[in-house]
A and B are shown apart, each in its own frame.
Chain A
Amino acid sequence: MGEPGKHRILMVSDFFYPNFGGVENHIYYLSQCLIKEGHKVVVMTHAYQNRSGVRYMTNGLKVYYVPWKPFLMQNTLPTFFGTLSITRTILIREKISLVHGHQAFSTLCHEALMHARTMGYKVVFTDHSLYGFSDVGSIHMNKVLQFTLADVTQAICVSHTSKENTVLRSGLPPEKVYVIPNAVDTAMFTPAPERLSRDEIVIVVLSRLVYRKGADLLVEVIPEVCKRHPNVRFIVGGDGPKRVRLEEMREKHSLQDRVDMLGAVPHAKVRSVLITGHIFLNSSLTEAFCIAILEAASCGLLTVSTHPTTMVHAITRAIYMLPKIDPQDMHNRMKKLYSWPDVARRTEIVYNRALKCSNPPLLDRLSRYLTCGTWAGKIFCLVMIVNFLLWRLLQLWKPDKEIEVVPDIQLPKSQHEETPFGSRPEKSS
């Protein structure tokens, strides 16, 4: 593992398996591809129920489930300095060269990046979401992000919209922010073996039924589409506070036979729901990067995602376009355009650039924090000074040499190694 150009990366986020979601998938697949490229990857997250301690996943991906209990929306309690000791221990014992934090909403991510910078490690941050600027929660979140990104080495966003949003929120120079889109595991999302009959057009909606995902919009759109097209049927998968409104709409317009409400759909059954339809409808009001669209397109569904005012018209156009669509051809194009190995290669470039960056002294770094606001800047500076002093104290109490370095596990390399992207032979060196 000590080869030149090979990195030892610590992925940090509050969101990881056994939880399911976009961030969790991103960390897992990116880690797997980086391991394939010969890098060492370790994941640090908080404990989930009785899942605590060290666990190993596919291809020897090591996961530290730190026994810090989540307190709100799968986030650990913000303690600023509470995670310093464990972060330092993991960084030393795993001989980490670079720390990669994921998701602006993750407390553990912000704290780990802060500690890593204090200890002189290079850090990369990936933002997976869009945030507003006006509500109290967003204002607070943006200030926290400003604090974290004031001293980050490089940042990654999942789309150009996301980059624009992050730059505006954090005041980070745009040249420090890279755009690397998400990908889809096309092996998991394959089209139906036989083409569906077009006598009845099935439109699939799969999302959490909340305001941001446009559930209120569906209440307006579904009856209108059903009125215009008698051969259209809807399948709505997902659960949330807006489900009641959809149920009411179904009752009001007597669409029980044309709108199927599936409720919450487990991730393993997403494909089986998608392949029952012809069109996938994405009604989200805001989305940093909609993985659901990729999954649907990979299953060969024609995707409709447009402005609320033109949605009914767009669905009508999609229905007329259906005969020209070849699901298998669409799947093959998705395979080429959105692949995790490609995401990993692009992320590797960011890592290489991050490691080439100079390491400024503490005083230079403190001046960056001062620019974060009249009062906030001073508070951030104070936090960083205390963190630095605590780190020095930890070094005296338990010197680096007393922390044992963990041996790397050597997995037997077979000719056809199982990968999360199906079986494929190893590249000959």
Chain B
Amino acid sequence: MGEEALAVATGKYTYLHEVGEGPPEAIDAHHILVRRSREKGFNLCLFTLLLFAYPTLLLFRQGKLDTLHICSLVIMALLIRLFLKKPVKKESVLILPAFGVQLETQYGSGKTIRQFVPISRILKPVLTECVTPVTCYWTLSLIIRGEEELMLVFKELRPPVKMLAPVWKALCAAIECGECTEAIT
């Protein structure tokens, strides 16, 4: 099956759209890839090393540690934990017309979590603004029949709205939601 791909890169994220050629039943895949910043990783490593160096030196010299140095070791351990935490590599939406939508989250370790939502359960895809105590961002969610909570399409990543809009339109088309197909303002 021949494939046509469209890629858009913005800041931290890359949007990849794969359209299968052939019958209308072809799988429509939308991927959001994370572009890892090498600078950030290097800075974190450097900071961790500096934080680790002084207490270690003190331990070798005096053979004991005071509270301040124990605190710096704890901070360092937390930073290492943060750095080694499985980062999300990619999140995908696979639209299978007449069947449903498969949501995928792929981690740096290679582990992939998949969730399938049958088309009959999806009432409507919605683009909403989320407000947290510190920031605001756009999310793409699915209104699921018989459930109070919205289902997030991209559970880990926060891609910009220009990447969410084509996914939203594709979901609307798949669910045959008439009012959705109007262009986003």
In the bound complex, CA of A53 to CA of B129 (Å): 7
Q: Mark A83-113, 1 if CB is under 8 A from B, else 0.
A: 0011001100100000000000000000000
User: Are the CB atoms of A409 and B129 closer together than 8 Å?
Assistant: no
In the bound complex, CA of A10 to CA of B11 (Å): 28
Q: A402-B11, A404-B160 are in contact. Are A67 and B185 (CB under 8 A)?
A: no
Q: Which residues of B contact A402 (CB under 8 A)?
A: 11
In A68-86, the 8 Å CB interface with B consists of: 68, 82, 85-86
User: Are the CB atoms of A86 and B160 closer together than 8 Å?
Assistant: no
User: Are the CB atoms of B130 and A53 closer together than 8 Å?
Assistant: yes
In the bound complex, CA of A407 to CA of B160 (Å): 13
Q: Mark B91-135, 1 if CB is under 8 A from A, else 0.
A: 000000000000000000000000000000000000011111111
**A71 CB to nearest chain B CB (Å):** 14
B161 lies within 8 A of chain A by Cβ: yes
User: Are the CB atoms of B133 and A68 closer together than 8 Å?
Assistant: yes
Q: Which residues of A contact B160 (CB under 8 A)?
A: 404
User: Are the CB atoms of A407 and B184 closer together than 8 Å?
Assistant: yes
A428 lies within 8 A of chain B by Cβ: no
B57 lies within 8 A of chain A by Cβ: no
User: Are the CB atoms of A54 and B133 closer together than 8 Å?
Assistant: no
Q: A409-B185, A410-B185 are in contact. Are A89 and B136 (CB under 8 A)?
A: yes
In the bound complex, CA of A404 to CA of B13 (Å): 14
**A93 CB to nearest chain B CB (Å):** 6
A66 lies within 8 A of chain B by Cβ: yes
**B84 CB to nearest chain A CB (Å):** 22
Q: Mark A19-35, 1 if CB is under 8 A from B, else 0.
A: 00000000000000000
Q: Which residue of chain B has its CB nearest to the CB of A88?
A: B135
In the bound complex, CA of A410 to CA of B185 (Å): 8
Interface size on A, residues (CB 8 A): 21
In the bound complex, CA of A66 to CA of B184 (Å): 25
In the bound complex, CA of A234 to CA of B137 (Å): 54
Q: Mark B169-184, 1 if CB is under 8 A from A, else 0.
A: 0000000000000001
In the bound complex, CA of A68 to CA of B132 (Å): 9
B138 lies within 8 A of chain A by Cβ: yes
Contact partner of B136 among A86, A409, A410, CB < 8 A? A86
Q: Which residue of chain B has its CB nearest to the CB of A66?
A: B131
In the bound complex, CA of A389 to CA of B181 (Å): 45
User: Are the CB atoms of B129 and A89 closer together than 8 Å?
Assistant: no
Q: Which residues of B contact A66 (CB under 8 A)?
A: 131, 133
Q: Which residue of chain A has its CB nearest to the CB of B136?
A: A89
Q: Which residues of A contact B133 (CB under 8 A)?
A: 66-68, 82, 86
User: Are the CB atoms of A67 and B138 closer together than 8 Å?
Assistant: no
Q: Which residue of chain B has its CB nearest to the CB of A44?
A: B131
In the bound complex, CA of A50 to CA of B160 (Å): 26
Q: Mark B136-178, 1 if CB is under 8 A from A, else 0.
A: 1110000000000000000000001100000000000000000
**A168 CB to nearest chain B CB (Å):** 36
**B139 CB to nearest chain A CB (Å):** 10
Q: Which residues of A contact B129 (CB under 8 A)?
A: 53-54, 406
In the bound complex, CA of A55 to CA of B185 (Å): 17
A64 lies within 8 A of chain B by Cβ: yes
User: Are the CB atoms of A404 and B131 closer together than 8 Å?
Assistant: no
**B50 CB to nearest chain A CB (Å):** 19
A305 lies within 8 A of chain B by Cβ: no
A371 lies within 8 A of chain B by Cβ: no
Q: Which residues of A contact B185 (CB under 8 A)?
A: 407-410
A380 lies within 8 A of chain B by Cβ: no
User: Are the CB atoms of A52 and B131 closer together than 8 Å?
Assistant: yes
- Minimum-distance CB pairs A-B, first 5: A85-B134, A54-B129, A53-B131, A89-B135, A407-B185
Subset of 28 A-B contacts with CB under 8 Å? A52-B131, A53-B128, A53-B129, A54-B128, A54-B129, A54-B136, A64-B131, A66-B131, A67-B131, A67-B132, A68-B133, A82-B133, A85-B134, A85-B135, A86-B131, A86-B132, A86-B134, A86-B135, A89-B135, A89-B136, A90-B136, A93-B136, A404-B160, A406-B129, A407-B184, A407-B185, A409-B185, A410-B185
Chain A interface (Cβ < 8 Å from any Cβ of B): 52-54, 64-68, 82, 85-86, 89-90, 93, 402, 404, 406-410
Beyond contacts A85-B134, A86-B134, A86-B135: 20 other A-B pairs, Cβ-Cβ < 8 A, are A53-B128, A53-B130, A53-B131, A54-B128, A64-B131, A64-B136, A67-B133, A68-B133, A82-B133, A86-B131, A86-B133, A89-B135, A90-B136, A404-B137, A404-B160, A406-B129, A407-B184, A407-B185, A409-B185, A410-B185
